Amino acid sequence: RLLHQRIVVLGTAVDDAVANRLCAQLLLLSAEDPRADVALYVNSPGGSVSAGLAIYDTMRLIPNDVSTVAMGFAASMGQFLLCAGTPGKRYALPHARIMMHQPSAGIGGTAVDIAIQAENLVYTKGLMHR
C-alpha cells in the first residue's frame, strides 16, 4: 500500500537484500511516473557501504526528486542516504536522531592486504564526501 503512495521505507540495517528491494521499488516508481516525487523514509542503523551505494546510485539515476524523511534513528549509511535526498526535500521527524561518523572498517591480513584495504577505505571516503 505504501508504494501506491510513492513511499519507500528503509526500516532496517542496509544489506544486499534490502538494497535490491529498495532499488527495485525506486525503479518501479520511476517507471510508473518519472516526474512524481518519491518519498524515502529512513529508520536504519546503517550497514553495508556497497549496498548503500547501490541505493544512492539508484536515487541519482532516476529522474524523480527523492524526498527523504528521518524517523527513529538514521545512522551511518542510513544517515548518508537521508542526506542524499533532493536538496530542499530532506526532513526529520521531531524525535528522530541522526548520527554521522567517519568511515571505519576491520582490516587484517598481510601488509600488502592491509595497504590495499586502507587505500580502498580512503577511496570510499572520497566518494562519500563528494
Distances (CA, A) of 65 to 43, 58, 76, 92, 123: 20, 12, 22, 17, 27
Is 95 considered catalytic here? Answer: no
Task: Round to whole Å and give the CA distance between 94 and 114.
Answer: 42
Residue 101 annotated to the active site: yes
Task: Give me the catalytic one of 30, 44, 67, 76.
Answer: 76
Task: From the candidates 4, 101, 104, 129, give the one annotated as an active-site residue.
Answer: 101
What the block records as the C-alpha cell of 18 is: 534490502
- Active-site positions? 76, 101
